[in-house]
Amino acid sequence: MKQLPKSRSIAVANQVLRFSMSGQGSPTIVMLNGAGGPLEGWHRLFPDIQQLGTVVSYDRPGVGGSTHPREPQLGTTVVLQLRALLREIGARPPFVLVGHSFGGLHANLFARVYPEETGGVLFLDATAPDDVVNMKRYRSGLQRAMAGLLERFSPLDPHDEISNELETVAEIAEVAAFPPIPVTVLSGGKRLPRWMVSSDALRERERNQEALARLSPLGERVIATGSAHFPQMSEPQLVLDELAKLVKRASQ
């Protein structure tokens, strides 16, 4: 992680957020982590990603070096915090959003709320709205038991984003349609053990990844055959290559 740019903290939108900004020029590439993921999770993309433009990564409230959330982290709350952060640090649109896992919901919502500022979206094995609504029905008995134990011994903060995920999905459904901007859906193609993910769950997940690609008439789908849920860790060069293509498409 020695190649990561230095991070610093700033007070914005009633929170103290840790962030880093490096590279230069247009576009501004905004990295949206999965739930609970700190900005260090992008370390294998550095320093090469900085050749593509200005790169902003940050910790959402309650993660890494950012303070605990002071209000429920609905999707609109997260999006408003992010936009306030970008304005405060002088990051300029167009923004190319990279949303991994749960961060894909926030990228999805940001593009709908601020279409004039969003140049493109890379959904990186991202959560789709229907994942939140439907995937829990496919959990095995073992998975349900493990989730129950985790909740018992480490209960969720009612203000965190997972506790408010259904509200976030509802917000996505209620705002404007997704804009016709370049989209790349980069999905992990490596099969997890059956005790972790059933065949029915895999089929649901596949449908939802395809649906993300259909959000825009300029949507494309790419499979990271050597990766499961973290292509940025297992196939960083593929992620960089697809991001470079997306940045080029967004500039045309």
Q: What is the rounded distance in angstroms from the CA atom of residue 58 to the CA atom of residue 37?
A: 10
Q: What is the pTM of this model?
A: 0.93
- In tens, the pLDDT along 103-153 reads 999 999 999 999 999 999 999 999 999 999 987 776 665 566 556 666 666
Domain assignment of residue 60, given as a range: 8-247
Q: What is the pLDDT of residues 221-252, one digit of tens each?
A: 999 999 999 999 999 999 999 999 999 999 98
Q: Count of alpha carbons within 13 Å of 32, Cβ hemisphere only?
A: 33
pLDDT at res. 144: 62
Residue 1 resides in a domain: no
Half-sphere exposure of 153 (CA within 13 A, CB side): 5
CA distance 117 to 84: 13
- State pLDDT tens for residues 12-66: 988 999 999 999 999 999 999 999 999 999 999 999 999 999 999 999 999 999 9
Q: Are 94 and 24 in contact (CB under 8 A)?
A: no
Is the pLDDT score of 82 beyond 80? Answer: yes
CB neighbourhood size of 213 (10 A)? 17
- Kindly state whether residue 191 falls inside one of the protein's structural domains: yes
The tokens describing 42, both together, are 């992008």
Please report whether residue 3 resides in a domain: no
Mean pLDDT score, 61-74: 94
Secondary structure in 3-state letters for the chain: CCCCCCCEEEEECCEEEEEEEECCCCCEEEEECCCCCCHHHHHHHCCHHHHHCEEEEECCCCCCCCCCCCCCCCHHHHHHHHHHHHHHCCCCCCEEEEEECCHHHHHHHHHHHCHHHEEEEEEECCCCHHHHHHHHHHCCHHHHHHHHHHHHHCCCCCCCCCCCHHHHHHHHHHCCCCCCCCEEEEEECCCCCCCCCCHHHHHHHHHHHHHHHCCCCCEEEEEECCCCCCHHHHCHHHHHHHHHHHHHHHHC
Cα–Cα distance for residue pair 202/69, rounded to 1 Å? 33
**CATH code of the domain in which 80 resides:** 3.40.50.1820
pLDDT of residue 135: 72
Name all contacts of 22-25 with Cβ < 8 Å and 24+ positions apart.
22/46, 22/47, 22/50, 22/54, 22/55, 23/49, 23/50, 23/51, 23/52, 23/53, 23/54, 23/55, 24/50, 24/53, 24/54, 25/53, 25/54
The predicted model gives 63-77 an average pLDDT of 95
Q: How far is CA 117 from CA 28, 97, 114, 179, in A?
A: 10, 10, 5, 11
pLDDT digits (tens, 9 = 90+) for 195-218: 577 888 889 999 999 999 999 999
How many domains does one find in the chain?
1
Residue 252 lies in a domain: no
